[in-house]
Amino acid sequence: MITGADLLIESLVDEQVDTIFGYPGGAVLPIYDALYRSLAPFKHILSRHEQGSIHAAEGYARVTGKPGIVLATSGPGATNLITGITDALMDSLPLVIFTGQVAKGVIGTDAFQESDVMGITTPITKYNYQVNHVSELPRIIKEAFHIAVTGRPGPVVIDIPKNISQETSPARSQRDFYLPGYQPTKHPNPLQIGKLADALSRSKKPILLTGAGVVTAKASDELKAFAEKYQLPVTNTLLGLGGFPGTSNLSLGMAGMHGTYAANMGIYECDLLINIGARFDDRLTGKLEHFAPDAKVAHIDIDPAEIGKNISTAIPVVGDAKEALKALLNSDIELPDHKAWKEKLEHNKTTYPLWYERSNDVISPQWLTEQVYRMSKGEAIVTTDVGQHQMWAAQHYPFDKPNRWVTSGGLGTMGFGFPAAIGAQLGAPNDLVVALVGDGGFQMTLQELSVLKDRNLPVKVIIVNNEALGMVRQWQESFYEERYSESLLSTNPDFVKLAESYGIRGLRVDKEDDVVEVLEDVFAYDGPVVLDCRVEQKESVYPMIAPGKGIQEMIGVTK
């Protein structure tokens, strides 16, 4: 006989888990005791807040493609995970989350540290379970791992009452499962591929829009081959960065609210838009009636619910991006002459590039981002929070490889970047990991500096410090007549002393002339570093599509 807690550990070993992120508490004490007694070949990372656990698991999942595993107790332990679960659902990240629950006999009585995890997580998970009998655990865990990583990836929650962890079951429990109602479509319909190929053969102004689905499907090589074979211009969403080389001459850069002029005008003027693995979210489209108004739209997505949700789609293709691109590459497509179209796009690229002004007095955050790219040779895994520093990184760090960009796209979560960097470093221990964070977001989860010290993880934390909630400040400047209501952070801590208080090296730089030397020092250091970079507070992110405007109505395209 074996306890439920021991069954859980055994199941994680069966799934070849190497890392779990968690925080103990009363309802999961049997599980933590089993973990202590076990010889399981995986490590447990003790975060200092459950939000740190789940964002670290997201970072781990993004760079490895494997599910991130989280363990938290009942009540506040579980509810502290809610932001991260929602974030993972919106950005399609595979997580398996174990939450403790009060014993079955007191569920529904407002028992100490009880929360309705099933009710709370139903709308923010791909699926959720509450275990009713200890013998169910192995099968449920097997199903959860399958559901989390197949089809469109997402978070799965398993809520385990405390008595289930303590009860015993035969050692060999049922692990097989059959899910007839869950059969994701991986291979696209050949007829739809044929329609797409036919549309491409008739198009005079085609464009590819690529999203996170390309990265998740490991379809970057097929996308590059497809674009180069037919010399198709490519733009990407925020989460699609790295799916196609940003330095390719076919790349137009990122589209959307802070996208490039060339990318947005390409979408506005194209006659065929082929969306591969991207959601048509509002930060991408702007005002819907102005988004690709003259284009026939084809949409390749493994999640049929995304197709036609926001943008009317003429050619729906349900399936895995890699399989769809393989099918297109095997199609014999004869394209018309695109010379005039490509010349126009190239003209837009060269005439209206991204721009910024440098100052001799303070560090330009865009220039700082470019130096991080140059000195890391573009090889770093970069994590960010949300806000100005995120957009500057997306614009000025040309990602050429997939899984090098870890950011919170759909939910836009402050406090994401630093713990995500911890997870990314654990998932890719031999890679350089840079957490580009704002001074506001960093203060939401900086207690995870303890994990850096505990594990001596060589994460380089670069704080783009403008003593403000930068994007909020920019919007207040542009749309609220410079009424900076509660957006200026004049009482920031001394980040150098703060890092040192955790036993971590802290540095500060406030002059551009010193940046290169300091970054060389940071990247050469074999250990974690927190670098406080003082940048211009009033710097803004341009170009920009203002709220309620169309994709062709950008402001700040030129100086």
Number of residues assigned to the chain:
559
Residue for token digits 């994460």? 459
In three-state secondary structure terms, 428 is coil
Q: What span, in angstroms and rounded, lies between the C-alpha atoms of 424 and 514?
A: 29
Which member of 66, 162, 296, 322 is catalytic?
Answer: 162
pLDDT, one tens digit per residue, over 125-155 is 999 999 999 999 999 999 999 999 999 999 9
CA distances 290 to 268, 349, 427, 464, Å, are: 7, 21, 41, 34
In this prediction, residue 361 carries a pLDDT of 79
To 5 degrees, how large is the angle CA 260–CA 242–CA 217? 125
pLDDT, one tens digit per residue, over 317-337 is 999 999 999 999 999 899 998
Identify whether 113 is a catalytic site residue: yes
Identify whether 162 is a catalytic site residue: yes
In this prediction, residue 359 carries a pLDDT of 77
pLDDT, one tens digit per residue, over 274-325 is 999 999 999 999 999 999 999 999 999 999 999 999 999 999 999 999 999 9
In this prediction, residue 74 carries a pLDDT of 97
Q: What is the DSSP string of 401-425?
A: STT-EE---SS--TT-HHHHHHHHH
| Mean pLDDT, all residues of the chain | 96
Which member of 50, 269, 323, 512 is catalytic?
Answer: 50
User: Does residue 499 carry a pLDDT above 70?
Assistant: yes
Residue 223 is encoded by which pair of tokens? 């996308």
Rounded to the nearest angstrom, the gap between the alpha carbon of residue 14 and the centroid of all alpha carbons in its chain is 27
Instruction: Record the pTM.
Output: 0.97
pLDDT, one tens digit per residue, over 353-376 is 999 998 777 999 999 999 999 999
Which member of 90, 414, 471, 544 is catalytic?
Answer: 471
pLDDT, one tens digit per residue, over 180-227 is 999 999 999 999 999 999 999 999 999 999 999 999 999 999 999 999
Identify whether 479 is a catalytic site residue: no
Which member of 43, 112, 204, 538 is catalytic?
Answer: 112
Side chain identity, residue 333: I
Q: What span, in angstroms and rounded, lies between the C-alpha atoms of 136 and 123?
A: 23
211 Rama class: left (phi>0) / alpha (psi -120 to 50) / beta: beta
| Confidence grade of residue 173 (pLDDT, cut at 50, 70, 90) | low
Side chain identity, residue 48: R
Q: What is the DSSP string of 479-539?
A: HSTT--TT-B-TT---HHHHHHHTT-EEEEE--HHHHHHHHHHHHHSSS-EEEEEEB-TT-
Average the pLDDT over 453-482 and give the result.
97
Residues 133, 170: contact at Cβ < 8 Å? no
Residue 90 is encoded by which pair of tokens? 């919106």
Which member of 113, 166, 537, 552 is catalytic?
Answer: 113
